């Protein structure tokens, strides 16, 4: 698995497709990043399950 991956995901505020660079070397992470389209803050959660080669990303509005 690569240490960094680019993912195309949907902003939970405006619904537009945005691209996020994900650092997969740090294990589970949670951070806030602004949408490149509407500039609203997005709460990003990234995790990997043991034995699963794929990662999972959840995007939520900060107030959710």
Digitized pLDDT (tens) for each residue of the chain, 64 residues in all: 568 899 999 999 999 999 999 998 878 999 999 999 999 999 999 998 887 778 999 999 977 7
Exposed/middle/buried for residue 55 (C-beta within 10 Å: 0-12, 13-18, 19+): middle
Q: Is 15 left (phi over 0), alpha (psi -120 to 50) or beta?
A: left
Angle at 20 between CA 46 and CA 57, to 5 degrees: 25
Total domains in the chain come to 1
Q: What's the predicted TM-score (pTM) here?
A: 0.85
Domain range holding 46? 4-61
The number of residues making up the chain comes to: 64
């Amino acid at each position: 698995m690569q240490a960094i991956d680019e993912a195309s995901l949907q902003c939970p505020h405006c619904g537009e497709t945005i691209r996020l660079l994900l650092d997969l070397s740090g294990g589970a992470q949670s951070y806030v990043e602004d949408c490149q389209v509407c500039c609203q803050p997005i709460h990003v959660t990234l995790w990997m399950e043991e034995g699963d080669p794929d990662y999972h990303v959840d995007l939520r509005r900060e107030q959710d």
